Structure 1
Amino acid sequence: MVALLENNPILAVVLVVAAGAAFGQIRFWRLRFGAAGALFVGLALSAMVPGVGEGMQILFTLGLALFVYMVGLSAGPSFFSDFKKQTPLLLAGALAVLLAAVTTIFGGKLLDVPVALRSGIFTGALTSAPALDTARRMTDSPDAAVGYAFAYPLVVFVAIAFVSFVTPRKWEGKRDTPSLTGVGLTPLTVRLHHGLSVHDIPGWDEGQVRVSYLLRNDSMCVVNPNEDLQADDEIVIVGLSDKVQRAAAAVGEVQQHRLQDNRTDVVFEPVTISRTRHYGATVASLNLPDRFGAVVTRVRRGDLDLLAADDMRLEPGDVVLVACPRDKMAEVRNFLGDSRRKITQIDALSLGLGLTIGVLVGMIPIPLPGGIMFTLGPAAGPLVVGTVLGALRRSGPLVWVMPQAANQAIRQLGLLLFMAGLSLTAGPAFAQLAVTQTGLRAGILAVVVVTVACSTLLLLAYLLGLSAPRTGGAISGLLGQPAILESAKSLVADERVEAAYATLFAFITIIKILLVPLIVAL
């Protein structure tokens, strides 16, 4: 069996993936390891069969690059739109890492952990492969990599426990942006008290409400945004409940019947955005009112039901809910594409090109004081590039963003490759150090360092008024380990988890790299 696994690395990888998936589903009190199960299974296997991990580095590097690039594409738009709002979180993350570095220095001296091993413990405790590369080059010792491999699985356990405790908590965060997940949109039929422009409806110009159906003199049609409404017209106002109620009270009287249930002349149907020319386009630029006498009121994106504001940009696979004259619906479907098959296809050109740019950016040497050079590496490089390209959405004919289903599939594949490859590589070093007194001291140091970092960020996030889901995502981003993010996401359906991860990951990776010379010098 040993020879079989050593001579068949693909068999070893798929075995770790399968057994790790099973192990990850086992519940330990409130804790389940999920994708991290492959990490522990792989460590155990490679400790028993040391040669099984040879040549696996390219596997987990590719998996990590795929994972972080997909995260960047998904979180890019919200990262840049909310960047100013996230400045306090970035500073909190930087302070948490700084305290972790100070703990590493003084704790390492107190526990008599050698400098090279200490630097590896720091990078492993904060799960930063780019920082490890800097530590290896500065210490010129294999102990840095051993410290990383030893600390890494220990802190994954601690960090998953942290996010499992924090993420599902009920504090909302007084200064946080509310989650859009699970927030339903309310349609109300309103009879107008007086004539007015659509733009005079409170919340229209701010994108807080939309108007779809119009009943005038027993004739049903779709409201044109530039139309002048008349007294006794009945319209349907759509939006969040409080915004709709406010708009309805200001312009008329809520009716008990529902105009949208009348599908004789006007239909209200979902249409999938699958034509590439509409990817990244705004709702307003579709110009459906003038083209077809139709209007988009909602956009379904994954699990989110969003109000279709004029400046909202459409992504591949978005499902728009269109109110349209019955005889025009076929033309609307043809115009928008409405192909489920097409949105499941992966654009290999944009994926390959984007990853290539990310890997190249990660290879660019960046000078530090003292003549030290570092690189972002195969993790931070693709993440930075993915975030930028995700915000751009497209460049001419190249569409960078992907449908959520495709993004999630590639992300999961990358995570599995990363977990399996890394664990099969790190097992022997982990087993060798674990049975020594130095290993015990190194393990204590690693757990203390990650606890200080996570606790500091948790406290600061709470004081900043951030929600529990965003705090859980921030802890995931502080460490950058993919399985920790997936553990947080599995606990709640909240887009703020991933947004916080993307906000912190690249920035904090650079901070970790910059702190490695300080740890080595002291």
Structure 2
Amino acid sequence: MLDFFSSNPIIALAVILAVGLAIGQIRFLGISLGAAAVLFVALGLATANPAIQIPPFVYQLGLAMFVYVIGLSAGPVFFKEFASRGWKLTLFIIALLISLVALAWVIIKALGLDSMIGAGMFAGSLSSTPGMAAIVQIVNGQDPSMVGEPVIGYSLAYPGAVLGTILVAAIGAQILKVDHLKDASEEGLITAPLVWKGVQLSPEITGKVGDLPRLSGQSIIATRIVDDPHSHRLADPQLPITPGMQLLINGTEEAVDKAIAALGEERETKIEDTELIYTRLTVSNPEVAGRTVGDLKTVEHGFMIARIRQGDTEVVPDRNTVINLSDRIRVVVAPGRVAEVRKFLGDSEKSLADVNLLPFAIGLSLGLLLGAIPIPLPGGTTMSLGFGGGPIVVGLILGALKRTGPITWQLPFHANRTISTLGLALFLAGVGTSAGAGFRGALTDPSSLIYMGTGFGITLISALVCAVFCMAVLKLKWDESMGVAAGVTTNPAIISYLNGQTGTDLPNRGYATVYPTAMVGKIIAAQLLFLLL
């Protein structure tokens, strides 16, 4: 069977993916490897028979796909957070990576470790798959027969990278007696259910309907004007407020109650047997995606947006909220105009399934071209962002832009997640088989324990520094500090554990803020360490 796989790499690839993804779904102590299990299945097969090889082109394309769609997803959050506190965390991540490179260089030199395996170990200690790929790319240009060496170091250190950060998070939470829900509530991240209530405005409230969030100081939206119990009309944001106007407002119960106290008095309002109805529709029209609520001029099209569900999060929109493909939108609309609104938004699962791959191909091409540009370094050497760094940088920019003229860069939510998982799995299968022969020898070499221990030590230092600096200097909560530590690793298994441990979005906020910087920074750091060695 092993000889059969060696002569049929496509079949071998399919089997590696199937077995690896199946193992990745197994949970132990609340942790699962996910797509990362593919790497170890590929390593196992190639260790048993080093002739089993997946062509390099496969894993190069897979990595480029993986990081590009991650950039598309992370771009909006990254640039939004950067202006406030994101720049502080960005500077911290850069300083941390420089320090870790220096530490790894000293240890590798002091212990006389192999430079290629040591550089791969460094990438593995931070679970930087793209960083390891960047080293592989350099090695492939120098000596293709040695491309498996960095993968060996990566594979030896990777399990410790996942375990080390999780241990710091778990033990630290116990020592500090962290109250996850209280911390998230204090940071305003406990997602409360959304409600609607009626309000009659006080005579002194003036302006336009769209001014009510500002006037109340709350995140609410007015969706209906109540003329009488059986006659409602859309609350056009441009309509002037009239004395005694009665409206229906949406938001969290706390926000709605505070808004009513600031704006007037609560009035019992029924929505049954009125001229307007609520319905939920899915955005599939590319002409709508990537535009803000204000740009859409929804009232002119006969509806108002009350709520938007993006992924698993439901929000009350304002005029600057951007609509994405596959968003589920709750609209207020006249019964006779539902078909018109459905056509405007799309509401077609078939259209979402038939993904337009042209923008994806354009963006991926731009990323690969950027990654191919050589960056000169002192001493006549060069480095590049490679097929991992270039695509993520372009993905971040295009993700923040969302659309350029008629081109919508964003992918539907499910398509994004599918491409991300597939790309990562292809990459891990390819690099795993390339390291088979060397990994066989590493398993029987006692010095492998040195690489494993060194990598684990670097992981622990990284996580502990994140915890101390973020809490002491940036005044972040423990869970968000651990989210930053997880973001440094850019490892989905770690943030998955934190989400399960905390039950809040606080780790996700730290993770998303530093993820892009860490992803690109580790690619550069891994190459820099290899060149220094």
CA drift of 1:88 comes to 2.1
Any idea what the Cα deviations from partners look like across 1:378-398, whole Å, max 9, x if unmatched? 111111111111111122222
- Structure 1 residue 182, shift from structure 2 partner: 4.2
User: Is 1:278 aligned to residue 288 of structure 2?
Assistant: yes
Could you tell me whether the CA contact under 8 Å between 1:67 and 1:482 is conserved in 2?
no
CA distance in 2, matches of 1:488, 1:143: 39
In structure 1, distance between residues paired with 2:370 and 2:425:
24
Residue in 2 aligned with 1:262? 272
Which amino acid counterpart does residue 203 of structure 1 have in structure 2?
R
Aligned partner of 1:339 in structure 2 is: 348
Question: What is residue 15 of structure 1 aligned with on the other side?
Answer: 15
Displacement of 1:134 after TM fit? 7.6
Amino acid at match of 1:153: S
Q: Deviations over 1:367-388 (max 9, x none)?
A: 1122221010111111111111
- What residue number does 2:214 align with? 203
SS at match of 2:193: coil
Q: Secondary structure at the match of 1:190?
A: strand
416, 420, 431: which is aligned to 1:411?
A: 420
Task: Quote the residue 1:289 is aligned against.
Answer: 299
- 1:506 maps onto 2:520 in alignment: yes
Q: Match for residue 454 of structure 2?
A: 445
- Counterparts in 2 of 1:167 and 1:10: CA distance versus 1, 3 Å: farther
RMSD, aligned α-carbons: 3.2
SS at match of 2:382: strand
Structure 1 counterpart of 2:223? 212
**Kept after mapping to 2: 8 A contact 1:296/1:321:** yes
Task: Say if 1:425 and 1:177 are closer, same or farther in 2 by CA, change over 3 A.
Answer: farther
CA 135–424 in structure 1, closer or farther in 2 if over 3 Å, else same: closer
Q: Identity of counterpart residues, as a percentage?
A: 29
Alignment of 1:462-501 (within 5 A): 462-463=471-472, 464-466=474-476, 470-471=480-481, 473-480=483-490, 494=505, 496=509, 497-501=511-515
Q: 423, 435, 442: which one pairs with 2:444? A: 435
SS in structure 1 of the partner of residue 248 of structure 2: strand
1:68 offset after TM fit, Å? 0.8
1:185 and 1:250 mapped to 2: Cα distance? Answer: 19
Distance 2:376 2:186 in 1: 37
Provide the C-alpha distance between the structure 2 equivalents of 1:448 and 1:201, rounded to a whole number of angstroms.
Answer: 54
Partner of 1:454: 463
- 1:244 aligned to which of 256, 265, 275: 256
Please give the TM-score of this superposition, normalised by the length of structure 2.
Answer: 0.86
Where do 5+ consecutive residues of structure 2 fail to align?
174-178
1:28 aligns with 2:42: no
Q: Secondary structure at the match of 1:52?
A: coil
CA shift for structure 1 position 498: 4.2
Given residue 358 of structure 2, which amino acid in structure 1 is its aligned partner? L
Equivalent residue number for residue 57 of structure 1: 56
1:223 aligns with 235
- Please name the residue that 2:318 is paired with: 309
The Cα shift of 1:493 comes to: 7.5
Task: Using the TM superposition, name which of 169-178 and 354-363 deviates more.
Answer: 169-178
Could you say which residue in structure 2 is the equivalent of 1:368?
377
1:173-201 deviation line (CA, Å, top 9, x unaligned):
97999586844323222233326332553
Structure 2 CA distance for aligned equivalents of residues 489 and 145 of structure 1: 36
Q: Which moved more, 1:353-362 or 1:141-150?
A: 141-150
Pick closer, same or farther for the CA change 1:171–1:235 going to 2, 3 Å. same
Q: How big is the shift at 1:51?
A: 0.7
**Shift in Å at residue 67 of structure 1?**
0.9
Bigger CA drift: 121-130 or 321-330?
121-130
State whether residues 202 and 250 of structure 1, in contact with CA within 8 Å, keep that contact through their aligned partners in structure 2: no
Letter in 1 for 2:330: L
Is the contact made by 1:176 and 1:467 (CA closer than 8 Å) also made in structure 2? no
How far has the Cα of 1:364 moved from its partner? 0.5
Question: 229, 232, 246: which one pairs with 1:234?
Answer: 246
Q: Please identify, of 28-37 and 307-316, the stretch whose mean Cα deviation from structure 2 is larger.
A: 28-37
- Flag the 1:298–1:486 CA change in 2: closer, same or farther, 3 A: same
1:304-352: CA deviation from partner (whole Å, max 9, x where unpaired): 1111110112111222221122233322222222222212221121111
Match of 1:129 among 128, 132, 140: 132
Residue matched to 1:380: 389
The aligned residue for residue 48 of structure 2 is 48
Moved more, 406-415 or 477-486: 477-486
Go from structure 1 to structure 2 and tell me whether the alpha carbon gap of 1:397 and 1:221 turns closer, same or farther (over 3 Å shift): closer
Q: 1:339 to 1:98 in 2, by over 3 A?
A: same
What's 1:155 paired with?
157
After alignment, is 63-72 or 265-274 more displaced? 265-274
Tell me which residue corresponds to 1:4: 4
Q: C-alpha offsets along residues 92-137 of structure 1, whole Å, 9 cap, x if unaligned?
A: 2223323322332332244232445434433443431355158648
How many residue pairs get aligned? The number is 514
Which whole-Å deviations, capped at 9, do the CAs of 1:351-372 have from their partners, x for residues lacking one?
1111111111111001112222
Measure the CA separation in 1 of the matches of 2:20 and 2:116: 31
Aligned partners of 2:481 and 2:8: how far apart in 1? 42
Q: Is the 8 A contact 1:393 1:401 kept in 2?
A: yes
Determine if contact 2:156/2:448 at 8 Å carries over to the other structure.
no
Q: Which residue of 1 aligns with 2:176?
A: none
Task: Say which is worse superposed, 387-396 or 114-123, in terms of deviation.
Answer: 114-123
Q: Is the 8 A contact 1:76 1:391 kept in 2?
A: yes
Residue type of the alignment partner of 1:513: Q
CA 440–333 in structure 1, closer or farther in 2 if over 3 Å, else same: closer
Identify if the C-alpha distance between structure 1 residues 406 and 200 changes in structure 2 by more than 3 Å, giving closer, same or farther.
closer
* TM-fit CA distance, 1:281: 1.4
Rounded Cα–Cα distance in structure 2 between residues aligned with 1:41 and 1:288: 51
**How many angstroms apart in 1 are the aligned matches of 2:504 and 2:18?**
25
Per-residue deviation, 1:514: 3.5
Opposite residue 319 of structure 1, the aligned amino acid is R
- The answer to whether the 8 A contact 2:39-2:431 is kept is yes
Cα displacement (A) at 1:57: 2.2
Going from structure 1 to structure 2, the CA distance change for 1:231 and 1:92 (only over 3 Å counts) comes to: same
